[in-house]
Amino acid sequence: MPSGALLFQSVLLGLLLGGLYALLASGLTLYFGIMRVVMIAHSAFLILAAYLAWYLHEQAGIDPLLSMIVTVPLFFGAGVGLQRLLLTRLRPATLTMMSVLLTFAIALLIEGLLGYAFTGTQRRINLGYGSASIEVFGARIAVVKLIAFVLAVVALSALYLLMKKTRFGWALRATIQHRDAARLLGIDTDRVAGFGFGIGLATAAIGGTALSLDTTIYPSLHWHWIGPLMAIIVVGGLGSVPGAAMAALVLGMAQSLLQIPLGTTWAQTVFYVALFATLAIRPQGFFGGRLAQRF
């Protein structure tokens, strides 16, 4: 039986991890909502952002958090470009399948170029505060993990406000709910879709920076992220941002707690077990609406 202290520590770690998952999964589910696209390259962009943060820190000694000034607008632009220039070229009838392949190809490109530029060697930012921690009721929270969590919470809240309180957010949600109807209402759905993609990739930039604070990175690491993220958006209901966030917190916590009895590797399977269970029992996901049913 694990001690209370270990359980409490694991709950905290799970919460911190779940926050990061929530941010990243919300980006992934956003793309799907807007265009029915499973964006495999999402986590590759995540790793790219982490590498940029690492590189800037290594070369210029810039704190990784400041690298976001560069990466966030850059990724937003890349997202808009990706949607407008590449995805719109695909035939609508085979869009879902072909977009998977196209984004998969982009993921390979990013992985290959990162490997070429920085080799496959594992990298890690050495921060002065890298091993610092704060004590909370006997458990320890690493400062870097806390910063990453705060970043995720701030970004998610901003996304939530954007979608609920702004005109653009309404247009975006209208586009997700019914694209044709939105167009009839005079919404420029193409523009909205492009910006939606930009926002999705911007979350990857923030997530990547958060990731770089406390993890070793290497070019093929993105495959270890895309699996859990895809599982999260299916469990949460494809296209549902709140669903993705909820599922992320639940599964992140489950992973952290399962590590105690099962060990690290087996604990990761919880995502896939949840994925298969969801598809077998409730294919539309546990938090999503009707949208997911058909995909």
Q: Which is nearer to another protein, 40 or 199 (CB)?
A: 40
Least Cβ distance, residue 102 to another protein (angstroms): 5
Q: Which of 66, 69, 77, 120 touches another protein (CB under 8 A)?
A: 120
Q: In sequence order, what E strands does 178-274 have?
A: none
By CB under 8 A, tell whether 253 contacts another protein.
no
Cα–Cα distance measured from residue 150 to residue 146, given in angstroms and rounded to the nearest whole number? 6
32, with CB counted inside 10 A (0-12, 13-18, 19+), is buried
Cα 155 off chain centre by: 11
By CB under 8 A, tell whether 279 contacts another protein.
yes
Q: In sequence order, what E strands does 194-249 have?
A: none
Range 82-101, binding another protein (CB under 8 A): 86, 89-91, 93-94, 96-98, 100-101
Instruction: Compute the residue count for the chain.
Output: 295
By CB under 8 A, tell whether 73 contacts another protein.
no
Least Cβ distance, residue 134 to another protein (angstroms): 10
Q: How many residues bind another protein (CB under 8 A)?
A: 85
By CB under 8 A, tell whether 264 contacts another protein.
yes
Range 137-166, binding another protein (CB under 8 A): 140, 142, 144-145
Least Cβ distance, residue 218 to another protein (angstroms): 8
Residues of the chain by 3-state class (helix, strand, coil), percent to 5: 80, 5, 20
Cα–Cα distance measured from residue 127 to residue 144, given in angstroms and rounded to the nearest whole number? 9
Q: Which of 66, 77, 122, 162 touches another protein (CB under 8 A)?
A: 122
Q: Quick count: other Cβ atoms within 10 Å of Cβ 70? A: 15
Range 6-65, binding another protein (CB under 8 A): 6, 9-10, 13, 17, 32, 36, 38, 40
In DSSP terms, which residues pair with 142 in a beta bridge?
133
Please compute, for residue 263, the number of CA atoms within 13 A of its CA located in the half-sphere on the CB side.
2
Cα–Cα distance measured from residue 17 to residue 255, given in angstroms and rounded to the nearest whole number? 9
By CB under 8 A, tell whether 181 contacts another protein.
no
Range 203-232, binding another protein (CB under 8 A): 215-217, 219, 221, 223-224, 226-227, 230-231
For residue 150, which amino acid is it?
V
| Candidates 51-59, 63-71, 123-131, 197-205; binding stretch for another protein (CB under 8 A) | 123-131
| Candidates 136-144, 148-156, 171-179, 245-253; binding stretch for another protein (CB under 8 A) | 136-144
Q: What DSSP character marks residue 86?
A: I
By CB under 8 A, tell whether 199 contacts another protein.
no
Q: Which of 201, 249, 250, 275 touches another protein (CB under 8 A)?
A: 275
